[in-house]
Structure formats: C-alpha cells, structure tokens
Amino acid sequence: MTTSKMTKIEKLTELFRQFPGIGPRQAQRFVYFLLSMRSEDLSELSETIGSLSKEVSQCSSCFRFFPAVENRYKCEICSDTSRDNSLLFIVAKDVDLESVEKSRTYGGLYFVTGGTLPLNEKNPDNKIRLKNLIDRTNTESQNLREIILGFNLNAEGEHTSSYIEEKIGPIAAKKGIKISFLARGLSTGAELEYADSTTLKNALKNRT
C-alpha cells in the first residue's frame, strides 16, 4: 500500500477480514471484485446489507432470525401449530437448525442459544441465553415432555451441554420433562479402521 492514512480499500479489506474464514488475500480480492461491479449492483449490495437488521427479525420464542413481518414476533416454525410442542430441540446456531430442518427428521420446536461456551467463559449465561431458556422452560405449556440437547460433539459443545443440563435439570425434573442427548455412534461413511476409541466405545455400548 502506498498511502499512510487508511484508504477505503484498506478499510473495506479489514472489514471483510472479519468475515468467517476470510484471510487478508481473499479480503482484498473481495474489494477488487466490488470495484469491478456495476454501480447499481454495488448499491443493491450496500442497501441489502444496510436494511438487513430492519428486514430480519429475531423470533421471540426460539431466537432464530426470520424475515420481518409487521406485528409478527414469532418465526414460521414457532407459529406453526401443527408442529409437535412436546419436543424442544436446543441448538447453538441458526445453521444447525437449518441443517436439522433440511434432514426432515424432526417435527418439534427449537431454541437457539446463539453460541456455545468456551471452557473458561466468565459470563456463561449471557453467551447461551440461559435466562431466556429457563424462562421458556418455566412458562412452556405443560405439553413439553422432552428437551433435546443438540450441540457439536467437541469440547466446547460438550461443555455447553453439561452446563445447560446442570442449570435446567432441576426445573425440568420438577415439571417431569426429560432431558435427552443426540445419539453417539458411527456416522454415515464411518470406517472402523479409522474410528477413534470414543466413537467405537459409543458404537458398541449403544448397539441395537
């Protein structure tokens, strides 16, 4: 770069670097890509981004994002009375929810925590909307029979799972709600030769 004060190109490069999975080189490519776009396409992108927070709402019930509609506070899933309200599936992120919906294997409701807990997190409750989750567990209709904890099977996911189980366990117990966990075992395509010991152990222990 040839000027000392920060240019728009540099600034935008830096903003793109914060995008998930984007390094300095690709960030710069993005900027030159935008510079090569027609002016009206650039405006469209700018406006779509600018209006995003106005035109997307966050569901007051499950906290996922959905297209904003005036006077509507719940997303399509939470508003859909045909879904099974005896089941509540707790996931970390919107993309996890999308992934489960796409598999067409679940007809219950969801709660999105917005993230998982790093092992040394100082403020765990905020990171995972614990207060909202407790509220929901308390006020949920008595139809709720089972809460499914659906976090990734890595250290952070398992830590989050344990933490939530500990916090909502007593409330759930009092209301007769079961807390369950996604099954562990061999996933599609798994090969015994390359499976780790924990996966083999779970696959054997939970054999059917």
- Give the footprint of a second copy on residues 148-187 (CB under 8 A): 148, 150-154, 180-187
CA pair distance 179, 147, nearest whole angstrom: 5
Q: Which is nearer to a second copy, 8 or 122 (CB)?
A: 8
Residues touching a second copy, count (CB under 8 A): 94
The one among 24, 42, 84, 126 contacting a second copy by CB under 8 A: 42
Q: Phi and psi of 190, rounded to 5°?
A: -60, 145
Q: Which amino acid is at 46?
A: S
Site map for a second copy, 74-113, x if CB under 8 A?
A: -xxx-------------xxxxxx-xxxxxxxxx-------
Collapsing DSSP to helix, strand or coil, 80 comes out as: coil
Query: Which range touches a second copy (CB under 8 A), out of 48-56, 123-131, 137-145, 168-176?
Result: 48-56
CA pair distance 104, 196, nearest whole angstrom: 29
Identify residues 117-146 at the interface with a second copy (CB under 8 A): none
CB-based burial label for 147 (10 Å; 0-12, 13-18, 19+): buried
DSSP state of 180: E
The one among 12, 130, 171, 172 contacting a second copy by CB under 8 A: 12
Q: Which is nearer to a second copy, 138 or 173 (CB)?
A: 173
